[in-house]
A and B are shown apart, each in its own frame.
Chain A
Amino acid sequence: MNRQAQAVVMLLFGGAILRASWTDVYLRYVKHGLRPFLIAAGLLLVAAAVMALRDELRDRPADPSERDDDGHRHGHSGPKLGWLLVLPALGLLMIAPPALGADTVARTGSMLNGTKEIAYSPLPPGDPAKLTLLEFGYRAVYDSGRTLRDRQIQLTGFIATGPDGQPMLARIILACCAADGVPIKIGLRGDVPRLPPDTWVQVQGRWVAHTAKDPVNESDIPYLEVDTWQRIRPPAEQYE
């Protein structure tokens, strides 16, 4: 790989990172908090590319024996492997794969495992009470639904196919990036939205004292009795 090629690849990769962090695309892969660091890293890559191009243009008429940083002359595989950096750049610019969804839910066990006894404070006021799936799950499983009784609850997530073939509501929890994504699964009863997997819905309903076991890791899947639901557009930040 010569300097010219390195400059083009860095420009492409840095540009791809900048474009993804400028729009909401980066939220499909990492947490919100990484954004300033992504922008800084993208700018640095672009700056390194510009400096390399500048040196390249300046040195062009000079003695060719000076070009000793092109790596391939010395038989190292390192710089040749550098071409691989084109792949994430193309992946981000051309494909921009979607956030993790129903496929991950089908293969990975739910978050709610282990027995904990936690007394949660009462739900925030409001009818319906808007909860994250994780909060609903914690309150249902670790506190036996004590704080959920007699309340209308609104949850937002995507449809995934449960172990019994029925639609469930799910969301992916990220700690850092999609490689560590773990799903949270909520079973549905009542007016179950029969929609294809990965469709986003907002459901409203009541907690029911029923749990199922996730066959993947024996974790608990709490249930919601759905009264009403509506299809929604996927949110910008799809992870919880």
Chain B
Amino acid sequence: MKDEPIDSVGVLLSVLILVAVLHRQIGHLLADPRLQTWLTVFVSVMVQAVPFLVFGVVLSAVIAVFVPRSFWARALPRHPALAVPVAGVAGVVLPGCECGSVPIAGSLIRRGVTPAAALTFLLAAPAINPIVLTATAVAFPKNPEMVAARGGASLAVAVLMGWLWLRLGHAEWIRLPHRPHLDGLPRMEAFWSACRHDVFHAGGFLVLGAMAAATINVAVPQSFLHHLAGQPALSVLALATLAVLLSICSEADAFVAASLSQFSLTARLAFLVVGPMVDLKLISMQTGIFGRRFAARFAPATFALAVLVAAALGTVIW
């Protein structure tokens, strides 16, 4: 520990002991009902995300360690413009939450998959998979067309973003964090090392995103939304923004959208298309895995495209 100014584990243990001794007093400090609600929402976003985070991290470590580079060259079409839709459809098959797909996409890029295809996968996997579409069907029993609209709009946005990246994207925007060289290590050691690396890169940012989502959940008055519902164009933007701020898991957002019934179906479609692709915890995790320059461009572009596609499709259908 020569280059460590203070022994971090020692500090951590002291903090833990302090918290254990003072946990009554801390409990009294947190007695305010609104603070309690904040804590409950924060902890529950984390608890809900953990299985998906761990699943994504393990899968990305498997990609990094056990799947040879040559596999991706064979599995995906050589031309990047064709690889993008294939990656989009591959996202449909893999049931996952957005928290898991960020490290997986990072791992794919490391293994030589063209970034455009990996990013399409990143957007498609949480938005259109059997679990999410089933949940949407259950939540909108009277509007079965919502399932097709959600699936179609999300796939379109994912593929268009991939092609957009091919035309306008710059590889140097993506800065994957330094990861120890896995090649020389025994396989199992490399596997655990890759897992650990991703847990901390993605997990730390997930905590930040969960805190932001809990704050929005507690701080934004719902009656404010109610006033926006009456204005068609504004309501689409309002629900798209709400999807970003609330950061609800893609498997649950259909139920929330269904409960926002004072809003038009188009506005709710925008909520469902934007949510799994751009939200606070995703932006935070993308910053952690791909770097700040990437996230600052990718997230707003995805948001704009998702709102446009959802609004256009909604106007055609309803």
Which A positions have Cβ atoms within 8 angstroms of B?
A: 1-6, 8-10, 12-13, 17, 20, 26, 28-30, 34, 37-38, 40-42, 44-45, 47-48, 51-52, 55, 64, 68-69, 71, 73-74, 76-88, 90-92, 94-104, 107-109, 111, 113-114, 116, 175-180, 182, 215-218
B170 within 8 A of A: no
CA distance A103 to B36 in the complex (A): 9
Whether A216 touches B252, Cβ cut-off 8 Å, given contacts A29-B44, A177-B45, is: no
* Cβ A45 vs Cβ B54 within 8 A: yes
- 8 Å CB contact of A177 from B23, B188, B196, B252: B252
* Cβ B213 vs Cβ A179 within 8 A: yes
**Further contacts, 10 of them, CB under 8 A, given A40-B54, A42-B50, A113-B262:** A6-B199, A41-B51, A69-B197, A85-B204, A97-B36, A101-B33, A176-B249, A177-B252, A178-B45, A218-B262
Residues in A neighbouring B46, C-beta threshold 8 A: 88, 91
Which B positions have Cβ atoms within 8 angstroms of A?
A: 1-4, 8-9, 12-13, 15-16, 19-20, 23, 26-27, 30, 33-34, 36-37, 39-48, 50-51, 53-55, 58, 135, 139, 142, 177-181, 188-189, 192-193, 195-197, 199-201, 203-205, 207-208, 210, 213-214, 217-218, 221-223, 226, 246-249, 251-256, 259, 261-262, 288
- 8 Å CB contact of A2 from B4, B44, B246: B4
Would you call the interface of chain A mostly helix, strand, loop, or mixed?
A: helix
- 8 Å CB contact of B199 from A10, A101, A178: A10
CA distance A177 to B251 in the complex (A): 10
Q: How far is the CB of B243 from chain A (nearest CB, A)?
A: 12
- 8 Å CB contact of B54 from A41, A64, A71: A41
CA distance A90 to B246 in the complex (A): 23
* Cβ B26 vs Cβ A95 within 8 A: yes
Select from chain A the residue with minimum beta-carbon distance to B135: A175
CA distance A180 to B253 in the complex (A): 8
* Cβ B259 vs Cβ A48 within 8 A: no
Residues in A neighbouring B223, C-beta threshold 8 A: 109, 215-217
